[in-house]
């Protein structure tokens, strides 16, 4: 699992350091005292956490209902969840984008900017313990997926309700015609019927011929 903390996402180096400390404590609590690898990239911290995943999440039937790419979505969920939502929002871990900076090499972007470009190891991976399991994270992940689906359904229902309301108030009802129906017209009634009322009831409100006749009469 990968967490990217970009220095630009914090108002000071002190707040970045505090965030790193909080995140490492959160990771230790959730993943059985694990000690992740922490690198300084020149632009922030990269936190790398090898874990024990017994099999691909695509094989878990519990996730099929909620996502077609559970492994990829889990990587993105884990970054946000473990980092207390402080990870770089522009960084979306995926199998084609999980690139590691090699310690003691140089970040070419930092070289161009004239700042310390060496990639440094801030904390070594705690290899004395076995790789942590992700079972408890999977429970949180499923909760996240269920919540995400419910929110999507609520938004879809709101959208349909809005569209339905919008259609009924602006498309199926023309205020000036409704006002005309309540008026007494002394002349040009045939023109009103043929050019306004009949098209209105048939084409706009989609009433039957019988219903249209009744309203016009």
For the chain, the structural domain boundaries read: 2-155, 172-216
Identify the pLDDT of residue 8: 92
For the four alpha carbons of 31, 34, 35 and 40, in that order, the dihedral sign comes to: negative
Q: Give pLDDT, residue 13.
A: 93
Angle between helices 13-30 and 70-82 (to 10 degrees): 120
What the block records as the tokens of 94 is 């995926």
Q: What pLDDT score does 191 carry?
A: 87
Q: Nearest to residue 37, comparing CAs of 80, 1, 76?
A: 1
Contact criterion met (CB below 8 Å) for 5 and 19 = yes
Q: What is the pLDDT along the chain (217 residues), one digit of tens a residue?
A: 999 999 999 999 999 999 999 999 999 999 989 999 999 999 999 999 999 988 899 999 989 889 999 999 999 999 999 999 999 888 888 887 777 889 999 999 999 999 999 999 999 999 888 999 998 899 999 999 999 998 888 888 887 776 665 555 456 888 888 888 888 888 888 889 989 999 999 888 888 888 888 888 8
Instruction: Return d(Cα 35, Cα 85) in angstroms, integer.
Output: 20
pLDDT value at position 103? Answer: 94
Among 39, 45, 53, smallest CA distance to 20 is for 45
Length of the chain: 217
Mean of the per-residue pLDDT values of the chain: 89
pLDDT at 164: 62
Whole-number pLDDT of residue 165: 57
pTM for the whole thing?
Answer: 0.70
Asked if 135 contacts 32 with a C-beta cutoff of 8 angstroms, the reply is no
List helix spans (H) across the chain: 13-30, 61-64, 70-82, 108-113, 135-166, 175-181, 189-192, 198-199, 209-216
Q: How high is the pLDDT of residue 26?
A: 96
Give every CB contact of residue 1 below 8 A, 6+ residues apart in sequence: 48, 49, 51, 75, 78, 79, 82, 93
């Amino acid at each position: 699992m990968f967490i990217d903390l970009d220095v630009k996402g914090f108002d000071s180096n002190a707040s970045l350091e505090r965030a790193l400390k909080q995140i490492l404590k959160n990771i230790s609590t959730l993943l059985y005292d694990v000690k992740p690898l922490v690198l300084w990239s020149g632009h922030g911290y990269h936190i790398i956490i090898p874990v024990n995943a017994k099999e691909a999440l695509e094989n878990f039937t519990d996730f099929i209902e909620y996502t077609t790419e559970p492994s990829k979505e889990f990587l993105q969920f884990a970054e946000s969840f473990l980092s207390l939502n402080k990870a770089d929002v522009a960084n979306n871990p995926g199998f084609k984008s999980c690139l590691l900076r090699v310690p003691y090499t140089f970040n070419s972007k930092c070289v161009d900017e004239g700042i310390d470009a060496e990639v440094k190891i801030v904390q070594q991976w705690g290899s004395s313990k076995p790789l942590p399991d992700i079972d408890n994270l999977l429970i949180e992940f499923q909760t996240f997926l269920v919540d995400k689906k419910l929110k999507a359904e609520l938004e879809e229902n709101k959208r349909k309700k809005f569209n339905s309301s919008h259609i009924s108030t602006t498309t199926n009802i023309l205020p000036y015609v409704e006002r005309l129906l309540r008026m007494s017209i002394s002349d040009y009634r045939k023109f009103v019927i043929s050019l306004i009322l009949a098209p209105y009831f048939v084409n706009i409100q989609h009433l039957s011929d019988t219903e249209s006749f009744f309203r016009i009469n």
